[in-house]
Structure 1
Amino acid sequence: MTDAFTRDWQAWHDRREAALQEPHGWLSLTALHWPGDEPEGLDGLPGLWSAEGAKLTVTAEAAEGLAIDGESVDGTAVVTAPAWIDHGDRRLEIALRGGRAAVRVRDPQAPTRTGFTGVPAYAIDPAWVVPARFTPEPDTLTVGSVRPGLEQPLRITGSVAFDLAGEPRRLTAADGGDGRLWLLFRDATNGDTTAGFRQLTTDAPAADGAVALDFNRALNMPCAFTDHGTCPLPPPGNALDVPVTAGELAPR
């Protein structure tokens, strides 16, 4: 009989894969464009596009099929990132990265989505549920990203201290929403069995700072599945010199 720990993990993993497979989820990315200051065409998209800071301007005819909030673009329209523009079955994500508006194409027919066969993972092991202690240290940290020259801010909430492989460890924690902690980390499996780095979101720490790090739920970042991601890099120091043989493996 399957134990409760395994059943809970499997249900969580099934939800994870279902989210990836959503029509406009992370597996649907097919392009990332950075419009310039002057109107220009973007490969595979109708209209003329330009951007200034967070504001994106697009000029198109109604027959070209662009729509914002259900209204056809017929002439010139301006949106402020984050926003969405529809083009048939595709959704154009207007994202704000490094203070600039970018256009990211999400297409349900992307090969990364239609060819998806699941995310491989290490065999689950309760021993990889590690007790930790959270210390609040609010800050804003600027980190690099997987795209050269692009920096992104991380809202830091503090750090977690724990023991792993007989040694004390510490990771910087970012805001995971609703009081949860978001850990971006590297470990000794990266580039071998796992992607370049991974992420882990915890429950909200208890009042005394106690929190569990369940590395069985360590996830690949979106950039592990697509060339069109803008994933922030782990904060300096968030590198474990031991292999974390738990969580998701590098995508096939």
Structure 2
Amino acid sequence: MLSYALRSGFVTLVLAGCMAEDWPEPPAVSFDEFSREHQEWREDRRERLVRPFSGVVLWMGLWELAQGTTPFGSDPQLSIVLPEEDAPPLAGTIHRSGQEIRLEPGIDSPLTIREGERIVETMVLQSDRTGNTTNLALGSLGLRIHGEPGTDRLWLRVWDEDSSKRETFELPESYPVDTEWRVTAKFRPYAEPRALPVQDVTSGMIEYQTPGELVFEADGREHSLIAVLQSERSTSYFVMMWDSTATIDTYQSGRYLSVPLADEDGWTTIDFNRTYNPPCVFSAYSVCALPPPENRLRLAVTAGEKRPVEPAY
């Protein structure tokens, strides 16, 4: 009993010490400046969602590539069928061996490298996971090999450069900007980085690496979010989170957030006003990671993007 009491008391003292930590305020900023910067962020976000090559709302196809050969073109009997106004019956054949992807063009195929060079012989394609992506063109279509970080799976991603959505797309409504949702967080690293397996919307699994957690105070309580570094070059943490607004007016499966890396003392600032929808809100042709159970907040984060009033697809 004495041992248990001492251990319980130790835990209580540790927790009390954590809660008693002197939490600094976020760097001061005027409301006008804060609102202006937030609006600029919103405008930049819309531009990125309709941008050629990478704009989510332009995506029109996503096919997972098995080992072996996968032909594609407008022939309805093929594994991957593309619009006949853009593609010949057989535009080409994709050969996958392990993580290597080779493209064999069809006879007289109009396939080109994005810069305009006609593809006349078999070539290796670099996925968008490599940092040296091979972008292809076929009529008004763009094509590339997509490799989601944290998985060995590969897909053929296709988008429409001439999509009218580039002009008509509008961001979903956001909550009114609120400086109260700009909070200080303490980064608490693990002794060693950990694997973080999460489910994606295709019922597959993605494995991230997490260096630690972001701890913050809101609504009179302490909360934590597991943070992810998507690459060694990352300048921010990637956070997948769910909160109780998902039952009312934010995306039901959760939202994403980018948080600046902590300073040398372990502090950073979380701006929940910049919580944003994952790609699967805007396109059925996406591979969205779902928040891990540990990142389901017992909190209503009334900040950031809401879900669209009308389905985006």
**Normalising by the residue count of structure 1, what TM-score does the alignment of the two structures yield?**
0.90
Partner of 2:154: 101
Do structure 1's residue 144 and structure 2's residue 194 form an aligned pair?
no
Deviations along 1:133-186, one digit per CA (max 9) or x if unpaired, are 0012222322211111x2112121210111121221111001165442211100
Q: Contact conserved, 2:65 with 2:153, CA < 8 A, in 1?
A: no
CA distance in 2, matches of 1:179, 1:136: 16
AA matched with 1:78: V
Distance 1:39 1:218 in 2: 38
Listed as ranges, the matches of 1:1-252 within 5 Å are 3-24=32-53, 25-36=55-66, 37-41=68-72, 42-44=80-82, 46-61=91-106, 63-68=108-113, 70=115, 71-82=117-128, 83=133, 84-97=135-148, 98-110=151-163, 112-137=165-190, 138-148=193-203, 150-175=204-229, 177-195=233-251, 196-252=253-309
How far apart in 1 are the matches of 2:165 and 2:198?
Answer: 27
Structure 1 runs, 4 residues or longer, greater than 6 Å off: none
59-68 or 185-194, which moves further after superposition?
A: 59-68
Deviation of 1:31 (Å): 0.3
Q: CA RMSD in A?
A: 2.2
- Write the distance in 2 (CA, Å) between the matches of 1:151 and 1:121: 30
Percent identity of equivalent pairs: 28
Q: What one-letter code is carried by the residue in structure 2 that aligns with 1:186?
A: W
Identify, as 1 or 2, the structure richer in strand: 1
Kept in 2, the 8 Å contact 1:205–1:211? The answer is yes
- Give the number of the structure with larger relative contact order, counting CA–CA contacts within 8 Å between residues 6 or more apart: 1
Contact kept? 1:85, 1:91, Cα under 8 Å: yes
1:65–1:191 CA distance, 2 compared to 1 (3 A):
farther
AA aligned to 1:165 is D
Looking at structure 2, the residues matched to 142 and 52 of structure 1 have their Cα atoms a distance apart, in angstroms, of 25
Structure 1 unmatched runs, 5+: none
Letter in 1 for 2:81: D
Deviation at 1:62, TM superposition (A): 6.4
Of structures 1 and 2, the larger Rg is shown by: 2
SS of equivalent residue, structure 2 residue 246? coil
Letter in 2 for 1:224: V
Q: Which protein has the bigger helix share?
A: 2
Q: Which moved more, 1:53-62 or 1:119-128?
A: 53-62
SS at match of 2:102: strand
For the structure 1 residues 155 and 110, does the alpha-carbon distance in structure 2 shift closer, same or farther, using more than 3 Å as the test?
farther
Residues 170-221 of structure 1, C-alpha deviations (whole Å, 9 max, x = no match) = 1100116544221110011115311121111112212111111110010111
State how far apart, in whole Å, the 2-side matches of 1:65 and 1:140 are. 43
The TM-score with structure 2 as length reference comes to 0.73
